Structure 1
Amino acid sequence: MTFSLILRDPETGEFGSAISSSSPAVAARCVNLADDLGGAHSQNVTDPRLGPALIERLRAGDSAQQAIDAVVAAADPATIDFRQLLVLDASGAPAVFSGTRALGIFGSAGRENAVAGGNMLASLDVLDALVDTALTVPGRIEERLLAALRAAVAAGGEAGPVHSAGISVVGSAGWRVTDLRVDWAEDDPIEQLGRALDEWLPQRDDYVSRGLNPAAAPSYGVPGDE
């Protein structure tokens, strides 16, 4: 019930996630990112514990494929075949596990610096649209992630309507420098996400400055903000 993408920008070192689903609050349950390490998604009848486990394997020095292999081997054999796991490591190498009991049309697409996965898809073309768009369109990583979600919808998206979406990015600040979510919308959560991104992106770096060096942070002109 989900299509998603993890992307690395080799010029900035940022990692980003884009995800959408017919289920509510998909980004809250499925997305895991870590500065300088990479990203991991746990989706399809989601076990939210698996994403952090994948990040810990990356932190221990595993490659993306080694992290997948270790987490799958340690998982409950009665449940792991329901899961879909995506990892992108610090070198930009992708890895995916899709259990045999993933839902509907499911699969993955991986290239250097990008990996996509999905289930209950209209077709596997959705995954190529995610990866190819993210790797070819210009702009900041958030803009490329949003363009990829829009391309996925244009390619057919899920077999049914989607209701939640999210875009998250990490760099070197120590937190998610972008973390935007639409947890439920009756119609077109990706376009609602796009409007939030239009508002957020021009201010993103100012909020990083506020966190790291508040004395040098810009004022926004509201009462008490001087």
Structure 2
Amino acid sequence: MTFSIVAHDPAAQEWGVAVASKFLAVGSVVPWARAGTGAVATQSYANVAYGPDGLRAMESGESAEATIRRLTSTDDKRALRQVGMIDAIGRAASFTGAECFDWAGGRTGDGYACQGNILTGPHVVDQMVEAFEAASGDLTTRLLAALSAGDAAGGDRRGRQSAALLVVRQGGGYLAGSDVAVDLRVDDHRDPVAELRRLVEIHRVLLPRPEDLEFVPIHAGLARVMRDALSERGYDCGRGSGYDEDLRQALFAWIGAENLEARWSDAAEIERKVLEILSSR
């Protein structure tokens, strides 16, 4: 019913899941992840308990392979289940029950597991693997590349409906207040993977990774440009000059209104993407 990938980026210490299916709101069922622990994709008559139970086991140090083996061994409907897991140190495992609807199967590699059922053929998983291994960039980029490749290869043979992307890292969430770095879902759409890609681009603007931020010092000339731009947008910048408190408060208010607060700095500087948006007409 679904195709998915679970993966780990050891350098960034991120774990994630990407999934698509001819199933309403697949993101509410399949993907599970916990920073420092691992990720799970549970699908095909999904045993949702595999998510929290799998994460709990891997958090205690159990490998992905051992966790899947133990969970499926006590599941009397294991022949219908499919699950992929990646553990804390990037060991991957995938299980496909003997009664999953054709085509069904999976592949594992260094730091990832791809699996799917009711697919147009094994080439769907093969293309996902090839795309993930070839892609560069952060884990979100590589997961999305794999999902897009699987979709382009035919994906779920029943058609398209939903897709989701979940990535976690310690302190990676909104204003570092959680570990959920990316949690995007397309619940019902004619082209859900394409729509998911669109949402990821918006997410990159509003919730950037700290290492992607680039700040520019606010000199007197730039302050004049900013004051004019904010005034045109109806913000009271006062009558002073330079980056004074009135301009700072106006910029802070505009950034908050535009949901760009993850790009704010308390110093006398402005993030380059913020400046680009502010300067646009």
Fraction of identical pairs, as percent: 29
Aligned partners of 2:32 and 2:166 also within 8 Å: no
Name the larger-Rg structure: 2
Q: Distance in 2 between matches of 1:221 and 1:10?
A: 33
Deviates more, 1:166-175 or 1:113-122: 166-175
Letter in 2 for 1:89: D
Aligned to 2:108: 110
Letter in 2 for 1:190: V
Report whether the alignment pairs 1:183 with 2:183.
no
Alignment match of 1:222 (pick from 257, 271, 277): 257
Aligned to 2:81: 83
Aligned to 2:14: 14
* Higher RCO by CA contacts (8 Å cutoff, separation 6 or greater): 1
Deviation string, structure 1 residues 170-198 (Cα, Å, up to 9, x no partner) = 0112431100000111x111111111111
Q: Distance in 1 between matches of 2:95 and 2:138?
A: 28
Aligned to 1:122: 120
Match of 1:55, SS state, is helix
Q: Distance in 2 between matches of 1:43 and 1:13?
A: 25
5 Å-filtered alignment, 1:135-174, equals 135-173=133-171, 174=178
Structure 1 residue 46, shift from structure 2 partner: 1.3
Alignment match of 1:202 (pick from 200, 205, 221): 205
Q: Distance in 1 between matches of 2:59 and 2:73?
A: 18
Q: Distance in 2 between matches of 1:206 and 1:39?
A: 20
Aligned partners of 2:59 and 2:88 also within 8 Å: no
Aligned to 1:215: none
1:156 to 1:206, Cα distance in 2 relative to 1, 3 A = closer
Match of 2:146, SS state, is helix
Q: Distance in 1 between matches of 2:37 and 2:129?
A: 20
1:200 to 1:82, Cα distance in 2 relative to 1, 3 A = same
Structure 1 residue 205, shift from structure 2 partner: 3.7
Deviation string, structure 1 residues 79-110 (Cα, Å, up to 9, x no partner) = 22111111111221111121111112100010
Q: Distance in 2 between matches of 1:68 and 1:160?
A: 27
Runs (4 or more) in structure 1 with deviation over 4 Å come to none
Deviation string, structure 1 residues 27-79 (Cα, Å, up to 9, x no partner) = 1101110101111111001121121111111012101111111111232x1x2
Gaps of 5+ in 1: 208-217
Aligned partners of 2:43 and 2:82 also within 8 Å: yes
Aligned partners of 1:30 and 1:48 also within 8 Å: yes
Match of 1:127, SS state, is helix
Structure 1 residue 206, shift from structure 2 partner: 7.0
Deviation string, structure 1 residues 107-164 (Cα, Å, up to 9, x no partner) = 0010011101000011111112112211221122112211111111222211121100
Aligned length: 213
Aligned partners of 2:33 and 2:40 also within 8 Å: yes
TM-score, length-scaled by structure 2? 0.71
Q: Distance in 1 between matches of 2:83 and 2:209?
A: 34
Q: Distance in 1 between matches of 2:180 and 2:156?
A: 27
Q: Distance in 1 between matches of 2:98 and 2:161?
A: 25
TM-score, length-scaled by structure 1? 0.88
Letter in 2 for 1:51: G
Letter in 1 for 2:257: V
Aligned partners of 1:114 and 1:135 also within 8 Å: no
Match of 2:103, SS state, is coil
Aligned to 1:211: none
Aligned to 1:67: 67
